[in-house]
Amino acid sequence: MQFLREVRRVLKPGGLFLISDHRRRHKEERVKAQLINADFALLSFEDTSPQIVRGLEHSIARESATHPIDSDPVVAY
């Protein structure tokens, strides 16, 4: 993967690279293999889906409280 080779090329020695990738669970092994093939040491691999869902739910609730949906919405194109 060209992107990971470029990250590896410009990363300072001993530097860390954090990636957040929103792929389906069944593609995790492929992502891990790509990182390893690009000579990255995989220090941690975490599924943050529950935190993302909780954050989205919080944002939706906050948005709904501050901007209630109009019963007669106007659609603009």
Write out the chain's pLDDT in tens, 77 residues. Answer: 789 889 989 999 999 998 887 777 778 888 888 888 888 988 888 888 888 889 989 998 888 888 766 655 565 65
Assess if residue 72 is contained within a domain. no
Provide the whole-model pTM. Answer: 0.56
In angstroms, the CA 75 to CA 50 distance is 33
Q: What is the pLDDT of residue 46?
A: 84
Tell me 16's DSSP state: -
* Secondary structure (3-state) at 67: coil
The pLDDT value given to residue 70: 61
pLDDT attached to residue 12: 93
Residue type, 47: D
Evaluate whether 44 touches 32 at the Cβ level (below 8 Å). no
Q: Is residue 54 included in any domain, yes or no?
A: yes
Domain count, the chain: 1
* Residue whose tokens read 């060209």: 2
- Residue 21 within any structural domain of the chain: yes
The pLDDT, as a whole number, for residue 65 is: 81
